Amino acid sequence: MGQKRLGWLADLSVAFKRHRQGRSGWFIELKGDRLRVRSTELPPRPDEAADAPPRRRDAWLSTPPGPAMFKDALAEACALFDSVIAGTWRWPDPDALPTQGKAGQLAPATLQRLTDRLKAALVGERIGMSTWNRTYLPYMSRLVEVAGSRAWPDDRDLLEAVLRNWEPNSRARQMAHDRIRALWKQAGWEWPETIVAMRGNGKAAAAAEGVRAFNDPEIQELRARLLRSYRLTPADLVAWDCLIAFGLRPAELQGLELRTDEGLPLAQVTRTKRSSKGSSGPRAVPAVPPEDWPADCFDLVQRFQEHGLPPGMVAARSPGEVLGQQLARLMDREPMEIELPRELTPYGLRHAFALRLGLQLGLHVRESAQLMGHSPQVHLSTYGRRLDAPKLLATVRDRVMAR
């Protein structure tokens, strides 16, 4: 890309000229992946004679190029100009200069400054501090840590070393890739194409058999343990029954309302969800309980009106974390009928609800997605493996028998 097309570089040149108050003969340029200041007023280099004739010389800036580093680059260039005019500027020790341009760009201090700027741009405007601490800070901290372990002349090598801290095709590696790439984008740096493959594929990260959902015997075992627990309250049982009957996200317990619609419990979900894949607004969800449950879900609406939901769980930053802690304790208890596999999570009850909609009720993907509060595309990508397998087997069986 030519320098004329770099708007930030043109703005930098104008700002530098404004600081010089129009003094000519000074230029700030991008050469390769480094910024330099050129001028005939720069003094002779240490290896030149003191009375060497004036000529245009280059002084390299340590600030990496890019729109995110605009202020730092301007401050460094202006300080250089002021000290040259004052006669106090000296050429730096050649041995102290980075041997390659990327060395300064990938220094821990530079990456930390970029991280602080990304945080300032996101927190309060797009995300909260708790979200930053959970979903950005761990990856940025690891990046700065690895950057400080040695000199990195190439960003591809650094990024590869950082991403290898997480398992291939894991959600953690995908998050690390996306968060660090946002940092590169903010700095205006080109993202190495070879690193994209290291992100992995979300579908490849999923189990071959599809999502892990509770089956009906596991739900029966879970509810039996809930009833026997001396630590959980009737309100806790209401919360778990809502997850089972309505396929809610744990966070959707916040602001939840229940009523009866012609004998069937109906949930009014008021909490909205926004993500890069879209957003979901309020929706009404009729109860679709497991086959061995009564239609009223054990008087769920009445119990909701009597006990409500656990205040501590609903007010928590993440109700899912509270439910996960309860489930971990329940798994440690003696089974009444069967063991509960450790890989099950509260979200597995939402998966079970989705499969009931498709496999037991036979709803269309669009209808199921509407009840779940997401798009048909998300529904297919999440549950397609489980929903398609029975239909595929039945189709093959029918066609074989009809031959």
Report field, pTM of the whole predicted structure over 0.75? no
Q: What is residue 20's predicted lDDT score, i.e. its pLDDT?
A: 92
Q: What is residue 8's predicted lDDT score, i.e. its pLDDT?
A: 87
What is residue 7's three-state secondary structure?
A: helix
Q: What is residue 1's predicted lDDT score, i.e. its pLDDT?
A: 42
147, 111 in Cβ contact below 8 A? Answer: yes
Q: What is residue 392's predicted lDDT score, i.e. its pLDDT?
A: 55
Q: What is residue 397's predicted lDDT score, i.e. its pLDDT?
A: 67
CB atoms within 10 A of CB 403: 4
For residue 69, which of 103, 136, 26, 115 has the smallest C-alpha distance? 115
Q: What is residue 38's predicted lDDT score, i.e. its pLDDT?
A: 93
CB atoms within 10 A of CB 7: 9
- Residue 334 contacts by C-beta under 8 Å, 6 or more apart in sequence? none
DSSP label of 123: B
pLDDT in tens, 112-156: 988 998 998 888 878 888 889 988 999 999 999 998 887 787 888
Q: What is residue 97's predicted lDDT score, i.e. its pLDDT?
A: 36
Q: What is residue 308's predicted lDDT score, i.e. its pLDDT?
A: 95
Residues 80, 396: Cα–Cα separation, whole Å: 76
Q: What is residue 2's predicted lDDT score, i.e. its pLDDT?
A: 43
Q: What is residue 383's predicted lDDT score, i.e. its pLDDT?
A: 83
Q: What is residue 4's predicted lDDT score, i.e. its pLDDT?
A: 44
pLDDT in tens, 368-391: 999 999 888 888 878 877 776 656
Per residue of the chain (403 residues), give pLDDT as tens.
Answer: 444 457 889 999 999 999 999 889 999 998 877 789 999 999 888 878 777 788 899 988 878 888 878 888 899 899 999 999 999 988 876 544 343 445 567 888 889 988 998 998 888 878 888 889 988 999 999 999 998 887 787 888 899 899 988 887 788 888 999 999 999 988 888 888 888 888 875 544 445 456 789 999 999 999 999 999 999 999 999 999 999 999 999 999 999 999 999 889 999 999 877 655 556 678 999 999 999 999 999 999 999 999 999 999 999 888 999 999 999 999 988 888 889 988 899 999 999 999 999 888 988 889 999 999 988 888 887 887 777 665 655 666 667 777 6
285, 371 in Cβ contact below 8 A? Answer: yes
Q: What angle do CA 234, 238, 242 make, to 5 degrees?
A: 170
Q: What is residue 402's predicted lDDT score, i.e. its pLDDT?
A: 77
Q: Which residues pair with 60 in a beta bridge?
A: 36
State the Rg of the chain over Cα. Answer: 30
314, 253 in Cβ contact below 8 A? Answer: yes
- Residue 191 contacts by C-beta under 8 Å, 6 or more apart in sequence? 181, 184, 185
